[in-house]
Structure 1
């Protein structure tokens, strides 16, 4: 719903009385970014998303931040990474602030709490950057769209990068909440029919820093297995599991470490695993398209650094909103839903498309191989190949 602010301006004073004229109406559409800005190490993900979202609107509008003559105003709301706060500030955005739609949130667990609020207010919630498959699953609703990748994409791409067969034995390490559990479930599903075996699953609490005991359990589960032995790490923000496990010398049991890609601040830790192959959502050198070229150039110019993982995601969300608003005949929620179902649009990663049935954005992932260059601060995830959406059988979530 758009917010219309009419301003009456006094044009002038003439002899015999005062003449008043109304200024041109300022028609402003408000969009809320509802994500964690305090209270967690995941704050950096939110800040990258915010930067990317605004750059996406800027790119789509040629810098005017206006669509169809209407100014776009972005409001930021802090969930503090607390489900109850997230519900409250999203309700405030939909109600008191009368936003057209909302974008968020960062943590999958917190975002789950926001889904019913979108349905209650009958307004769109565009999920970015939270990942869990369940966000577009049976407990979601028709007002929820999702530009971020999901756990199935992460893990199907990761499975393809591992080249699974009957000689592969895997033990998994993940965090004990929706992100980790959905991810490992998706990985096991991706391995079905390949002959590969998951021999152990370990889940750790958020903010875990000591991996000694869990590492020993993982080693013990794998060390006597024949063939290729891999510990798969699927951890978003708890300590340094890769450092802990590599420090325990898995090579003495011929055990490899594998994980997906991460933000630039984490990639220096990947220097411990040169040659490791995995899958990544985005690395600024991987995609080859005009939007990514613009993002890389402008981000480097403005911030003296390349765009990161969630910057690209935020931009994809901003571009999706802009495409929907440009395309829709009007901006009521039902028209926007109809417009966005099946909509495709261009992003820094390439083409994305909202699957009509569950509103998950289908998109490419990137198979990488780690290269270490002493002149670069982080390990470089060199592109092996782009994994196209049609190569991944992403399970359907919500079906009504």
Structure 2
């Protein structure tokens, strides 16, 4: 049986069919590639437990930051951004597990988190194992960018030493200081940093007592008495520095009348619902990472106006932190033009980026974001429930000489 050669018409029709099939298969591959190229970011936060309020603010700020940076498109370099949110309940083992899940199962390009310093420290080796970027926000323990650091870790949040150096810059004269702090990594790390910061700032004040209380403490009578006994006969000014995450014990300490012994309370900055309770302590001074009315820039103007419109309240301490992390993510991906980890590290080391506080930059040596802080005092004339603080002075980053401690 003879087989006839295809006619010219049949050959043309076959060629067209093959061409269409190729185009179809190519479009399928392109569509698959486009989906695979969506940028995935994991946001891990302690949304359950004592730090829940902080975590929720971080999430709000992060999503608003991406909205602002992308003009509402939620795209970077033409690729859609997908944010995967996970709750580690501020538990180190869960933080470690969820980050591994994000890198391994979810295939995220970058991760951001977390609220608790203990959980953040547990996550650091996971980033190194998977060779993926982890931006720390808002955990503050110095060890994160210190002896526990690795090259995949960047931090937008301030660290304990930045807090301490800012506070020390306001206490350069002599006097006596006691600390009340929570008895876990954050509190002990903060007091250690504060003592070092006083020496770095050249302060003549002397630390005469350190008091540590359980995170769940509600009765401060006994700790306060020990503090008062330690301070009452020491040189003035006598300052009780409060280092506390969550609901502050400041009011309870004030009820015990430290002024009887010439002792002044010095709170660290806190979230707005906590600081609202300080209205009776007009003139009391402290330092803070962010207060909505202090920074004067276009980004903060948008955040304050938009947050107030949506939530009937101004943005808070951790809202600004989440926003800063989003700005770092957007700036890094835009600069690197890639999700490749090595290209991101190259782009991020020394990178300057805008935040509601103004410009920050990732120091090349340890990837800590260098940034301004604020010296405040509690206002006398408060116009509304959120009109709480008066700016004494912005403390610029170049006056906060954070030491490099990662032994890179």
- Could you tell me the TM-score, scaled by structure 2's length? 0.90
From 185, 189, 198, the equivalent of 1:191 is 198
How many Å separate the matches in 2 of 1:397 and 1:47? 31
Residues 314-350 of structure 1 show CA distances to partners (whole Å, capped at 9, x for unaligned) of: 0000000000000004221011011100000111000
- Contact 1:274–1:370 (8 Å) recurs in 2: yes
Residues 181-237 of structure 1 show CA distances to partners (whole Å, capped at 9, x for unaligned) of: 111111111211321100000111111111110000000001111321110000112
- Contact 1:31–1:74 (8 Å) recurs in 2: yes
> Runs in 1 of length 4+ with deviation above 4 angstroms?
17-21
Select the structure that is richer in helix: 2
From 33, 43, 47, the equivalent of 1:37 is 47
- Contact 1:269–1:378 (8 Å) recurs in 2: no
Equivalent residue, structure 2, for 1:118:
127
Question: Secondary structure at 1:272's aligned position in 2?
Answer: coil
From 139, 150, 156, the equivalent of 1:141 is 150
Residues 56-110 of structure 1 show CA distances to partners (whole Å, capped at 9, x for unaligned) of: 1111111111011100100001111111111111100000000001000001111
How many Å separate the matches in 2 of 1:374 and 1:312? 22
Matching of residue 165 in structure 1 with residue 162 in structure 2: no
Select the structure that is richer in strand: 1
- Contact 2:168–2:203 (8 Å) recurs in 1: no
From 284, 292, 296, the equivalent of 2:292 is 284
From 368, 372, 392, the equivalent of 1:384 is 392
How many Å separate the matches in 2 of 1:180 and 1:379? 28
Equivalent residue, structure 1, for 2:111:
102
- Contact 2:41–2:83 (8 Å) recurs in 1: yes
Instruction: Tell me the CA shift for residue 378 of structure 1.
Output: 4.8
Residues 352-391 of structure 1 show CA distances to partners (whole Å, capped at 9, x for unaligned) of: 0000010000000011111144642256111111100100
From 161, 179, 183, the equivalent of 1:176 is 183
How many Å separate the matches in 2 of 1:327 and 1:139? 27
Instruction: Tell me the CA shift for residue 170 of structure 1.
Output: 0.5
How many Å separate the matches in 2 of 1:343 and 1:257? 38
Instruction: Tell me the CA shift for residue 302 of structure 1.
Output: 1.3
How many Å separate the matches in 2 of 1:151 and 1:64? 35
Equivalent residue, structure 1, for 2:320:
312
How many Å separate the matches in 1 of 2:319 and 2:399? 25
Matching of residue 323 in structure 1 with residue 331 in structure 2: yes
Question: Secondary structure at 1:98's aligned position in 2?
Answer: coil
- Contact 2:287–2:374 (8 Å) recurs in 1: yes
How many Å separate the matches in 2 of 1:346 and 1:87? 30
Question: Secondary structure at 1:181's aligned position in 2?
Answer: helix
Residues 124-167 of structure 1 show CA distances to partners (whole Å, capped at 9, x for unaligned) of: 11000111111111122111100000111111111222x3222x
Task: Summarize the alignment of residues 267-306 of structure 1 with structure 2, pairs less than 5 Å apart.
Answer: 267-306=275-314
| Structure 1, gaps ≥5 residues long | 1-13
Matching of residue 51 in structure 1 with residue 60 in structure 2: yes
Matching of residue 340 in structure 1 with residue 361 in structure 2: no
Question: Secondary structure at 1:190's aligned position in 2?
Answer: helix
Instruction: Tell me the CA shift for residue 41 of structure 1.
Output: 2.3
| Structure 2, gaps ≥5 residues long | 1-16
Matching of residue 208 in structure 1 with residue 230 in structure 2: no
Equivalent residue, structure 2, for 1:60:
69
Instruction: Tell me the CA shift for residue 396 of structure 1.
Output: 0.9
Count of matched residue pairs = 381
Equivalent residue, structure 2, for 1:253:
261
How many Å separate the matches in 1 of 2:235 and 2:347? 53
- Contact 2:382–2:388 (8 Å) recurs in 1: no
Matching of residue 393 in structure 1 with residue 401 in structure 2: yes
How many Å separate the matches in 2 of 1:345 and 1:121? 26
Task: Summarize the alignment of residues 3-42 of structure 1 with structure 2, pairs less than 5 Å apart.
Answer: 20=24, 22=28, 24=31, 25-26=34-35, 27-38=37-48, 40-42=49-51
